Chain A
Amino acid sequence: SQQGEEDPQALSIQEGENATMNCSYKTSINNLQWYRQNSGRGLVHLILIRSNEREKHSGRLRVTLDTSKKSSSLLITASRAADTASYFCATDDLNAGKSTFGDGTTLTVKP
C-alpha cells in the first residue's frame, strides 16, 4: 500500500485560479517532496520540504507540512494551462533509503 495519499484524485479549474492539492501519509518522515508528471513521462521535482519546516515557497508554488497531522498541501497560484499534469507527493522514510509515492492528483487547467 502507498504511504502517501493525494486528495483530490482529479481537479479541474480555469486558468488564473488557484489549485490546492493535499497529501496525507502514515509514518514518520525525513522530508516530503512534490513532483509533477506530464502524460506518463519522467517526474519533475518541484519542491522539497524537510520535517522541521512548516512552509516553503518556490515561484507560484507554496507547500505546507503539518507533521502532527501527517499531511502536506501544494498550492499553485494563478494557474496556467501548462500546469496541466499529475502531481505526486513522496515521503522519504526515516529508516529506509527510498521515497514512497501516492497515486497522485490529476490537475486540468482550462484555458
Chain B
Amino acid sequence: ETGVTQSPTHLIKTRGQQVTLRCSSQSGHNTVSWYQQALGQGPQFIFQYYREEENGRGNFPPRFSGLQFPNYSSELNVNALELDDSALYLCASSQGEEETQYFGPGTRLLVL
C-alpha cells in the first residue's frame, strides 16, 4: 500500500459526457501527477501539479484539465469523452517534482 488513494475504482460513461476522477496523495507529498494507461501500453503523462500549480503537461488536449487543492489532493476532469479515453487513469504523488513517485491503484474508465 502506497497511501495514495483514487476514486472511483471503476466508471462507465458514454461518449460526450464529462468525468471527474479524484486522488488523495500520500501524507507529506506536495506533488501529484496523472497518467493515462491504455491496455497493453505504458502510462502516458497527462500533467503534474506542484503546490497547486500545473507544472508540466503531456500531449493531451485541453479537454483534460486538473486541479490540486491546498491539502494536495487532486482532480482530473475530462470533458466531451471519446471512446479512446477508455483507459486506466493513474495518479502518483511525490515529495517534490523529481523524487520517487508513489502510485495509486487507478481508476478504470470505460467510455461507451
Q: Is the CB of A97 within 8 A of B55?
A: yes
Q: Is the CB of A98 within 8 A of B33?
A: yes
Interface string of B1-26 (1 = CB under 8 A from A): 01010000000000000000000000
- Among A31, A33, A42, A101, max chain B CB count under 10 A is at A42
* B48 interface residue per 8 A CB criterion: yes
Quick one: which of A30, A31, A88, A96 contacts B43, CB cutoff 8 A?
Answer: A88
Number of A-B contacts (CB under 8 A): 66
> Which residues from B are CB-within-8-Å of A88?
42-43
Given A43-B90, A88-B43, A103-B42, CB of A98 within 8 Å of CB of B48: yes
B2 closest partner in A (C-beta): A42
Given A2-B42, A101-B42, A102-B42, CB of A96 within 8 Å of CB of B101: no
| Beta-carbon contacts under 8 Å, B55-107 to A | 55-56, 58, 88, 90, 92, 97-98, 100-106
A94 closest partner in B (C-beta): B98
Complex: A4 Cα to B42 Cα, angstroms: 10
Complex: A43 Cα to B102 Cα, angstroms: 8
Give 10 nearest A-B pairs by CB, closest first: A101-B42, A97-B56, A97-B97, A43-B103, A98-B45, A42-B105, A42-B103, A103-B42, A97-B55, A101-B43
**A residues touching B (Cβ–Cβ < 8 Å)?**
2, 4, 30-31, 33, 35, 40-45, 48, 88, 90, 92, 96-104
**B residues touching A (Cβ–Cβ < 8 Å)?**
2, 4, 31, 33, 35, 37, 39-45, 48, 50, 55-56, 58, 88, 90, 92, 97-98, 100-106, 108
30 contacts between A and B (CB under 8 A): A2-B42, A30-B98, A33-B101, A40-B39, A40-B106, A42-B2, A42-B4, A42-B103, A42-B104, A42-B105, A43-B43, A43-B90, A43-B92, A45-B100, A45-B101, A45-B102, A45-B103, A48-B100, A88-B43, A96-B56, A97-B55, A97-B97, A98-B33, A98-B45, A99-B33, A99-B92, A101-B44, A101-B45, A103-B40, A103-B41
